Amino acid sequence: MSVQKQVRRITAPEITARKGGEPIVSLTSYHAHTAQIADKYVDFLLVGDSLGMVMHGFESTVPVTLELMIMHGKAVVRGAERALVVVDMPFGSYEESPSVAFRNAAKIMKETDCGAVKLEGGKHMAETISYLANRGIPVMAHIGLTPQSINTIGGFKTQGRKKDQWAAIEEDAQAVAEAGAFAVVLEAMAEPLAARITKAVPIPTIGIGASVECDGQILVMEDMMGLSPRVPKFVKEFGKVGKAIERAIKLYSEDVRDRSFPANEHTYDVKD
Ligand code: KIV
């Protein structure tokens, strides 16, 4: 008899089935506590390799390791009960060959218990996506701006601003869909191109700096909460968490300095 907890998590096929329906809500999460808070409101949580920049202070996502992704992936799976958890495959863990990608994706899934992985790339990654999808690994693709390629792209640039760039990006979208990706992230992409791709492909598009026409949206949680010092133009701040944290720390430091903390109600008396 199974002793598992009877919690029904959203699955990758359920995300695919949302194509053209109610918009899919998603956010990044890197820790158990933010995952627990977001779990009620989102359909999936992405343990994005953006954690390298947001949490660990790297200049790009390139230095992020498999071990780091697995550590944060485990925390998010522990925190969320309902949302599908997708873990990013970091740079260098999947590009070499489909079999290397399978070994590393399987390691991520076994060690974190997440429900899917994400990898960056279009046409050139189609063979790998198909190899993984045919072997039990749901894959979310990621096209448009692919931050792991920052050193060849030369910067975090919006994609498809010139119409002569559209065909290649549309081919990427079709290729990942045909290869069996269950959804595709469209990052930093000219709005009309993202809308066209959304109409053309049979899998959900998840926009980040793309179009309201996408089948769903994702943002980096720290950016939308107002916790990141610099955010891209497409981010709307839905909170002012950075300011709230600073205010609380300032008040605490003032209380400690003028000896008003800990006051009696926060101290322990001797028991008789
Ligand atoms: O790493 C990440 O957070 C991502 C999202 C921006 C889609 O890939």
CATH number at residue 177: 3.20.20.60
| Residue 128 in domain | yes
Count of domains for the chain? 1
Give domain status of residue 211, yes or no: yes
**Mean of pLDDT values over 166-184:** 98
Alpha helices in 17-125 (DSSP H): 32-38, 51-54, 66-79, 98-112
**Percent of the chain's residues with pLDDT above 70:** 97
Ligand 1 centroid vs 61 CA: distance in angstroms? Answer: 10
Domain annotation covers residue 174: yes
* Overall average pLDDT of the 40-66 stretch: 97
pLDDT attached to residue 6: 63
Pocket test for ligand 1, best of 31, 46, 60 (most atoms within 8 A of CB): 46
Distance CA 226, CA 206 (A): 22
Does residue 229 belong to any structural domain of this protein? yes
Q: pLDDT by residue (tens digit) across 218-272?
A: 999 999 999 998 899 999 999 999 999 999 999 999 999 999 999 999 999 999 8
pLDDT one-digit tens code per residue, 14-34: 999 999 999 999 999 999 999
**Could you tell me the residue range of the domain that residue 82 belongs to?**
12-239
140 lies in some domain: yes
pLDDT attached to residue 229 = 85
Compute the average pLDDT of residues 194-219: 98
**Mutate-to-test residue for ligand 1 from 27, 69, 88, highest number of ligand atoms within 8 A of CB:** 88
Q: Is residue 36 in some structural domain? A: yes
Confidence band for 3, pLDDT divided at 50, 70 and 90? low
Pocket of ligand 1 (CB under 6 A): 28, 46, 48-50, 88, 142, 185, 187, 208, 218, 220
Per the CB < 8 A criterion, the answer to whether 73 and 108 are in contact is yes
65 pLDDT exceeds 80? yes
pTM of the model: 0.96
Does some domain include residue 251?
no
Distance 199 CA to ligand 1 centre (A): 22
In a domain, 272, yes or no: no
- 192 Cα to the center of ligand 1, angstroms: 21
The helix, strand and coil proportions of the chain, stated in percent and rounded to the nearest 5, come to 40, 15, 45
Nearest residue by C-alpha to atom 2 in ligand 1:
48
Give the whole-angstrom CA distance, residue 183 versus residue 174. Answer: 11
d(CA 101, CA 131): 9
> What's the pLDDT at 150?
95
Q: What is the H or E stretch that residue 205 is in? A: strand 205-208
